[in-house]
Amino acid sequence: MTNLKQDLEKVLEKYQQELKSVRTGRANPHIVEDLIIDYFGTPTPIKQAANVSASDARTIVISPWNKDSLVDIEKAINESELGINPINDGEVVRLSFPPLTEERRVELTKIVGQKSEEARIKVRKLREKIREEIQQDEKDGKISEDDKTKKEKDLQKIIDEYNEKIEEIHKKKEEELMTV
């Protein structure tokens, strides 16, 4: 049970990290920071090979420390799900984000919904793993039936708490996406 909260926090953290990559109407450096490029033969996140900044509300500028990696950065962006064409001027890569259409906003809310469901599935898997351990402890005679029932109730309370957190984050991101 002690490791459960740590595992659930990791699931929540990963979920929030994934949602950062879903773009809203504003240019946010988090959208591209974790894209992986081939940096001198090593898979590397863009944030470790370049300076990523938002020059204004609709533009992200990626300034690589080595100009040879411009092509790799461009390639990683093209292969991502961003749907943005990078502009390579030989010095930096620029990403210009057009205003989101209503159709694209709906698509993005569906993506957020999928990511939320993936996080909930991970939480359910953790719950099942712990439930199996509790049931095994009862079979082995380590705990009584009353203890088993109490532990399962405590487990469900923790799981419900994390599912609520996922739902809150989901609603906040959806609201952010639908705001024009």
Residues 66 and 107 in one domain: no
Length of the chain, please?
180
For 24-77, write each residue's pLDDT tens digit. 666 778 888 888 898 888 899 998 999 999 888 788 999 999 888 898 999 888
Long-range Cβ contact pairs of 68-73 (< 8 A, separation 24 or more): 69/37, 69/39, 72/37, 72/38, 72/39, 73/37, 73/46, 73/49
Same domain, 82 and 119: no
The pLDDT assigned to 108 comes to: 85
Task: Give the residue from 96, 125, 156 where a domain finishes.
Answer: 96
CA distance 124 to 18: 19
Whether residue 170 contacts residue 112, with contact meaning beta carbons closer than 8 Å, is answered with yes
Please give the C-alpha separations between residue 17 and each of 22, 116, 152, in angstroms, as whole numbers: 10, 12, 30
Residue 128 shares a structural domain with residue 142:
yes
Is 161 found in the same domain as 108?
yes
pLDDT over 70 at 180, yes or no: no
Shared domain check, 86 and 60: yes
Q: How many domains does the chain have?
A: 2
Residue 118 pLDDT > 90: yes
Cα 9 → chain centroid: 13
Q: What is the CATH number of the domain that holds 31?
A: 3.30.1360.40
My answer on whether 116 and 162 are in the same domain is yes
Do 71 and 117 reside in the same domain of the chain?
no
74-100 as b/e: b if 16+ CB within 10 A = bebbeebebebebeeeeebbebebeeb
Give the pTM: 0.69
One domain, residues 72 and 122: no
Q: Measured between alpha carbons, how far is 158 from 61 in angstroms, rounded to an integer?
A: 42
115 and 54 fall within a common domain: no
Q: What tokens does 172 get?
A: 């906040």
Query: Residue 115's pLDDT band (boundaries 50, 70, 90)?
Result: very high
Residue where one domain finishes, among candidates 96, 124, 146:
96
Which domain, by its residues, includes 35?
Answer: 26-96
Out of 96, 114, 133, pick the residue that ends a domain.
96
